[in-house]
């Protein structure tokens, strides 16, 4: 009977185990199916996204083909060919100016970040030193308190030990109570001292704070300097209205512009080449740029306390000359109605810090 019951129990256990195994298998299949559906949905989304990008790229490629065909037609005419050369010279000059803005922006950002980081660490170290000084002062005070309490206990113990004889039993007991109370106070003082030591160690081991990034004042300083450089480039290329022509070439198609006859175009080619070489070889404009930046800093106003880009109307006029600064060349002193911000000269909006 016992063997039969045992066999029945084993069979029941095997059936239960088999049922559990089957349930686990079904659950695994269910979850695998759900994961496969999810993965399939993701792949279909990626495919649709790639197809959309492919269609966009095909449109761009077709546009480039059309531009090349138009350019081929244009260059087939010798007179129009001169115009195309001037047009692309101007566009190249525009790109060079934009790259100069980008390079200058990167340099200014690094310099400003270094200054702000050093200032942040200096302030942190000063505040930490102040807290360390306060904690050290409290440690000295509590140490003195500890020494006073230890001396008091030692005096009480000597006084207690001097009370000899059984007739001083109760006095010694009372004195012992006082000694114990002082020892309890001493333990509390030592605990405060240990806490102060721990606090000092914690303050000493504090890491430097994370750099939060450029602040509003730093971004403003960089943006004003970028506007100053943009104005400087405009003044440098103002001869023959080359700066204005470069802006037109940036925003129009080659077939929509005209630079006169072939002789006029040849003259423009030489002028653009001369100005481009002078611009790229000019390495002594730092003082002029600082003077222009200082002037713009006084003029610039902002629409709110959080704005980092000056309000465009406050910089609506460009002064070719700077007060108290001799540029070393002949420049008109009459302000020009050119706003490098609103007209986005050299694509300055792309490099300004928001």
- Burial (0-12, 13-18, 19+ Cβ within 10 Å), 286: exposed
Angle at CA of residue 319, ends 317 and 325, nearest 5°: 155
Q: Is the pLDDT of residue 10 over 60?
A: no
CB 265 within 8 A of CB 88: no
Q: Is the pLDDT of residue 3 over 60?
A: no
Token pair of 330, please? 């002949």
- Burial (0-12, 13-18, 19+ Cβ within 10 Å), 230: buried
Residue predicted with more confidence, 160 or 64: 160
Residue predicted with more confidence, 133 or 30: 133
Please, what is the average pLDDT of the chain?
A: 85
Supply the pTM of this predicted model: 0.69
Q: What are residue 237's phi and psi, to 5 degrees?
A: -110, 20
pLDDT (tens digit, 9 = 90+) per residue, 138-166? 999 999 999 999 999 999 888 888 888 88
Confidence grade of residue 1 (pLDDT, cut at 50, 70, 90): very low
Confidence grade of residue 330 (pLDDT, cut at 50, 70, 90): low
Query: How many residues make up the chain in this entry?
Result: 354
- For the chain, the structural domain boundaries read 24-76, 86-104+227-350
Quote the pLDDT of residue 167.
Answer: 81
The residues, any chain, with a CB within 8 Å of residue 316's CB and separated by 6 or more, are: 337, 339
In angstroms, the CA 203 to CA 253 distance is 65
pLDDT above 70: percentage of residues in the chain: 87
């Amino acid at each position: 009977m016992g063997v039969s019951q045992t066999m029945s129990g084993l069979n029941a256990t095997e059936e239960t185990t088999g049922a559990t195994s089957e349930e686990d298998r079904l659950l695994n299949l269910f979850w695998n199916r759900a994961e496969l559906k999810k993965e399939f949905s993701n792949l279909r989304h990626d495919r649709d996204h790639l197809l959309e990008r492919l269609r966009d790229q095909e449109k761009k490629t077709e546009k480039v083909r059309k531009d090349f065909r138009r350019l081929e037609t244009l260059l087939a005419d010798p007179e129009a060919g001169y115009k195309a050369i001037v047009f692309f010279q101007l566009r190249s000059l525009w790109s060079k100016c934009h790259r100069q803005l980008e390079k200058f922006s990167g340099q200014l950002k690094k310099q400003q970040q270094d200054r702000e980081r050093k200032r942040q660490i200096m302030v942190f170290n000063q505040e930490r030193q102040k807290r360390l000084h306060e904690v050290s002062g409290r440690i000295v005070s509590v140490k003195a308190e500890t020494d006073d309490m230890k001396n008091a206990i030692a005096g009480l113990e000597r006084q207690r030990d001097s009370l000899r004889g059984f007739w001083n039993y109760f006095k010694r007991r009372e004195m012992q109570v006082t000694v114990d109370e002082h020892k309890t106070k001493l333990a509390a003082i030592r605990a405060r001292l240990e806490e102060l030591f721990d606090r000092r160690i914690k303050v000493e081991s504090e890491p430097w704070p994370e750099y939060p990034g450029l602040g509003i004042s730093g971004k403003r300083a960089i943006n004003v300097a970028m506007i100053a450089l943009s104005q400087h480039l405009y003044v440098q290329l103002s001869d023959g209205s080359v700066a204005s022509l470069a802006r037109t070439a940036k925003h129009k198609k080659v077939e929509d512009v005209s630079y006169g006859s072939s002789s006029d175009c040849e003259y423009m080619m030489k002028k653009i080449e001369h100005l481009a070489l002078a611009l790229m070889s000019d390495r002594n404009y730092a003082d002029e740029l600082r003077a222009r930046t200082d002037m713009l800093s006084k003029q610039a106003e902002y629409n709110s306390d959080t704005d980092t880009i000056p309000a465009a109307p406050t910089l609506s006029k460009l002064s070719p000359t700077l007060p108290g600064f001799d540029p070393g060349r002949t420049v008109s002193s009459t302000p020009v109605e050119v706003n490098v911000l609103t007209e986005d000269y050299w694509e300055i909006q792309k490099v300004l810090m928001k």
